[in-house]
Amino acid sequence: MLWFELPCWMGPDWPVIHARFTALLAGKLLQIAVELVLIVTTTWWEVQLGRAAREGVLPQAIVVDRSKL
């Protein structure tokens, strides 16, 4: 969206190529920010799950082979 809208928002005194490169940079920064949030959230979740498993809060997983039943 910024690829087409940012040149209009910046006005005619800005070169179009500069506005488009700025849009690309903004998109890449947004992608990095989203990835960092996902990394931090996943790491926090795995740490909490590991703590709960070590403390015995979570029941032990038991694999049942249904083909032998």
pLDDT tens for each residue of 4-19: 787 777 788 878 888 8
Q: Does the pTM of the predicted model rise above 0.75?
A: no
C-alpha span between 40 and 35 (Å, rounded): 9
Q: What is the mean pLDDT of the chain?
A: 87
Farthest CA pair distance, the chain: 77
C-alpha span between 26 and 19 (Å, rounded): 10
CA-CA-CA-CA torsion for 51, 57, 63, 69, nearest 10 degrees? 180
pLDDT of 43 over the 70 cut:
yes
Query: What percent of the chain has a predicted confidence (pLDDT) above 90?
Result: 33
Structure tokens belonging to residue 43: 């790491």
Average pLDDT on 12-27 reads 85
